[in-house]
Amino acid sequence: MSPLRLILASASPRRRDVLRQLGLDAEVRPARLDEALEPGEGPVEHVERLARAKAELVALDVPDALVIGGDTIVLRDERVLGKPETEDQAVQMLMSLAGRSHEVLSGLALAGRHGVVSGISRTAVRFRDFDTATAERYVRSREPLDKAGAYGIQGLGAALTEGVDGDYYAVVGFPVGLFMRLLGRAGWRYDFGRLERART
Q: What is the mean pLDDT of residues 167-187?
A: 97
**CB contact set of 19 (below 8 Å; sequence gap of 6+):** 6, 8, 25, 26, 68, 174
pLDDT digits (tens, 9 = 90+) for 124-139: 999 999 999 999 999 9
pLDDT digits (tens, 9 = 90+) for 147-156: 999 999 999 9
Q: What is the mean pLDDT of residues 146-170?
A: 97
How high is the pLDDT of residue 2?
60
Q: How many CA atoms lie within 13 A of 149 on its CB side?
A: 28
Residue type, 80: V
71 catalytic residue (yes or no):
yes
CATH classification for the domain delimited by 6-197, as one of 3.40.50.300, 3.90.950.10, 3.30.1050.10, 1.10.10.10: 3.90.950.10
Task: Evaluate if residue 177 carries a pLDDT over 70.
Answer: yes
Name the strand (E) or helix (H) holding 19.
helix 13-21
Average pLDDT, the chain: 96
200 falls in which pLDDT band (50, 70, 90)?
low
CA 132 – CA 197 distance, rounded (Å): 51
199 falls in which pLDDT band (50, 70, 90)?
confident
pLDDT digits (tens, 9 = 90+) for 89-142: 999 999 999 999 999 999 999 999 999 999 999 999 999 999 999 999 999 999
Q: Which parts of 35-188 fold into alpha helices (H)?
A: 43-59, 87-97, 132-140, 168-172, 176-185
Residue type, 48: E
3 falls in which pLDDT band (50, 70, 90)?
confident
In the chain, DSSP finds a helix count (H) and a strand count (E) of 6, 9
Residue type, 12: S
Q: Which of 71, 77, 129, 131 is catalytic?
A: 71
The model's pTM: 0.94
Domain spans in the chain, listed from the N-terminal domain onward? 6-197
pLDDT digits (tens, 9 = 90+) for 8-67: 999 999 999 999 999 999 999 999 999 888 999 999 999 999 999 999 999 999 999 999
